[in-house]
Amino acid sequence: MPKNQNLEYHIISDGIFWTDGGGAFGLVPRTIWEKRLPPDENNRVPFSLNSLLIRSEGKLILVDTGYGRKLDEKSQQIAGLKRPEGDLLDALARLDIRPEQIDIVINTHLHGDHCGGNTIFQDNQIVPTFPNAQYYVQRLEWADAIAPNERTRATYLAENFVPLQESGHLNLISGNTQITRHVRTAIARGHTRAHQVVILETGDQTMVFVADLATLHYQFQRLAWVTTYDIEPLETIESKRYWQQWVLEHDAVIIFQHDTQIPTGKLVRGNNNRFKVEPVSID
């Protein structure tokens, strides 16, 4: 893994899924967004399923867990899930890391594509995928997930998180939380009421895993570009306004969870003083 002082980190993949382009770009007309990210014949665009693996102060930390292995064939087809190089556990295995070695799992939020890999089928039961880990979830996110409404019930799936509480692996946190000296979470409200980003800080580099604060780099560049999946779109705009300035002030690398074009980038001012994300490598 890339190493910076006492911090190591690596982007790992649970595959790619395909989602409706209109959902991804919201009110932005297709005639505008399709020039940037061409859809397939079913109007779908590709989303990466990136997670972040961190080693800090002797702890192995995993940020988000993708769709996991519980989806049946029909659900995988509906999601357009493709895994030519295997899933998240296969990616960990390539790094010689076993599930029982993970110490902490941070869920940015509890939508199915971010926490489906929290749990796994074992002996006809659903159990934590990472048996020695504590799973960090925002308390308000948990409250929304266990009492979903008509809009959220299709993505807040109890099998992805309730077994964590039953097995004693759930660690509910409230607000911005320091995980280790170099790793912390911060609330970035909008996609959900308690959506959180993950910040990595060392002496000479700052990175932020933005999750669904900005699904793609296009949404981070433009405040008004908000997905239809955001529960509080106006809050998303205000959160992005804050984090745009924050990454500029900290010269931070942005890690995009779903972007197949620019997985890591930096925000700069382009033509007409408009923001632009330029790709950078963290390797």
231 has a pLDDT exceeding 80: yes
- Of 167, 160, 129, nearest to 145 by C-alpha is 160
CA distances from 103 to 50, 247, 249 (A): 19, 28, 32
245 has a pLDDT exceeding 70: yes
Average pLDDT over residues 82-108: 98
- Residue 178 tokens read as 């320091």
- Dihedral angle over CA of 34, 40, 45, 49, nearest 10: -150
5 has a pLDDT exceeding 90: no
Instruction: Please give the domain boundaries of the chain with CATH numbers for all domains.
Output: 3-279 (3.60.15.10)
User: What confidence category does residue 4 fall into, taking pLDDT thresholds of 50, 70 and 90?
Assistant: low
Give φ, ψ of 89 to 5 degrees: -65, -35
- Of 98, 128, 117, 111, nearest to 14 by C-alpha is 117
Confidence (pLDDT) at 270: 78
Average pLDDT over residues 105-111: 98
1-15, 56-70, 216-230, 267-281: which has the minimum mean pLDDT? 1-15
The CA-CA-CA angle for residues 138, 65, 91, to 5°, reads 150
Identify whether the C-beta of residue 4 lies closer than 8 Å to the C-beta of residue 205: yes
pLDDT digit string, tens, across residues 122-149: 999 999 999 999 999 999 999 999 999 9
283 has a pLDDT exceeding 80: no
pTM greater than 0.85: yes
pLDDT digit string, tens, across residues 20-41: 999 999 999 999 999 999 999 9
Mean pLDDT over the full length of the chain: 96
